[in-house]
């Protein structure tokens, strides 16, 4: 019994220490933002690497999610003669939930894992130590641009996901299932609320961008400098980010719904 309690206590202490280290690292990352003002090229390079290179998977996923949503929604709504609301349903689902959440999940799998692996390998090959010994702070030089790029890229990627989802949904709903084109767009314009749908979606994706990129850079910077260490850190990035996104989504939704 005491052994079990001791293990539980040790686990909690480890978790709190881990969180403390992550918070301290986040503060150091944020301290380095002035570096990005002096050298915006660092941010642009990472926006390309973290954001632009993730566009393809986000675009294709958004398109197909919108198509499936439209297909499923039509069959349910048409039973109640409410298929004219299909456009609103597709757009609201994407803007409020699927856009931010699925984008964050895909982002952590594509860009988050790549960030962790890159930083972890830089640590394992002593590149981060090399920077330190050249009097270059690796947190400001390597972590801050990557963190800010992830934070800024996420809402843009979520917007792209939702936009292409609406187009995919329109293609299936209007193009294939015969929903009226005018109704699709007019209903959407009339019923989608800037604050409830659009702004809340943007807030969610900013929060997810912050958390996913924070987890990714922390795991990379904190990993054991071995192949097993980097591999474990990459896996943890995807698992922790996914769980954090799903948990935070519930909390944010609960706070946002009036």
Of the pair 20, 247, the CB lying nearest other proteins is at: 20
| Alpha-carbon gap, residue 239 to 224, rounded angstroms | 18
**134 versus 228: smaller Cβ distance to other proteins:** 134
**Dist CA 240 CA 22 (whole Å):** 13
Which residues, numbered 104-163, are part of the site for other proteins (CB under 8 A)? 125-127, 129-130, 132-137
Ramachandran sector of residue 135 (left: φ over 0; alpha: ψ -120 to 50; beta: rest)? left
Cβ closest to other proteins, residue 189 vs residue 227: 227
Residue of 144, 138, 64, 75 whose CA lies nearest to 106: 64
Nearest approach, Cβ of 176 to other proteins (angstroms)?
Answer: 46
**Structure-block tokens of residue 133:** 């010994």
The tokens 């989802």 sit on which residue? 165
Nearer to other proteins, 32 or 173 (CB): 32
How far apart are CB 137 and other proteins at their closest, in Å? Answer: 7
In the complex, the smallest distance separating the C-beta of residue 136 from other proteins, rounded to whole angstroms, is 5
Q: Which is nearer to other proteins, 126 or 181 (CB)?
A: 126
- State the number of binding residues for other proteins (CB under 8 A): 11
CB of 108 to other proteins, least distance (A): 23
How far, in Å, CA of 115 to CA of 61, rounded? 21
Q: For the CB of residue 49, give the shortest distance to other proteins in the complex, in Å.
A: 10
The least distance separating other proteins from the CB of residue 100, rounded to whole angstroms, comes to 31
Per CB under 8 A, residues contacting other proteins are: 125-127, 129-130, 132-137
């Amino acid at each position: 019994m005491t052994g079990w309690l001791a293990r539980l206590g040790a686990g909690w202490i480890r978790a709190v220490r881990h969180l403390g280290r992550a918070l301290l690292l986040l503060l150091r990352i944020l301290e380095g933002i002035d570096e990005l003002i002096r050298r915006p090229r660092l941010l642009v390079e990472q926006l390309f690497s973290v954001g632009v290179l993730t566009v393809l998977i986000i675009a294709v996923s958004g398109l197909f999610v919108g198509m499936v949503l439209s297909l499923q929604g039509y069959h349910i709504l048409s039973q109640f003669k409410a298929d004219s609301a299909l456009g609103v349903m597709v757009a609201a689902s994407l803007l409020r939930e699927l856009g931010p959440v699925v984008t964050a999940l895909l982002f952590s799998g594509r860009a988050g894992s790549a960030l962790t692996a890159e930083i972890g390998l830089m640590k394992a090959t002593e590149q981060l130590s090399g920077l330190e010994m050249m009097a270059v702070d690796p947190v400001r030089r390597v972590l801050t641009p990557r963190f800010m790029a992830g934070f800024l890229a996420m809402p843009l990627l979520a917007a792209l996901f939702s936009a292409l989802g609406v187009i995919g949904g329109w293609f299936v709903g209007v193009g294939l299932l015969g929903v009226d084109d005018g109704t699709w767009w007019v209903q959407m314009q009339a019923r989608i609320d800037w604050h409830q749908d659009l702004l809340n979606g943007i807030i969610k994706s900013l929060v997810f961008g912050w958390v996913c990129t924070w987890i990714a850079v922390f795991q990379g910077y904190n990993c054991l400098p071995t192949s097993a260490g980097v591999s474990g850190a990459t896996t943890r990035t995807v698992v922790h980010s996914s769980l954090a996104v799903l948990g935070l989504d519930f909390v944010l939704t609960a706070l946002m719904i009036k």
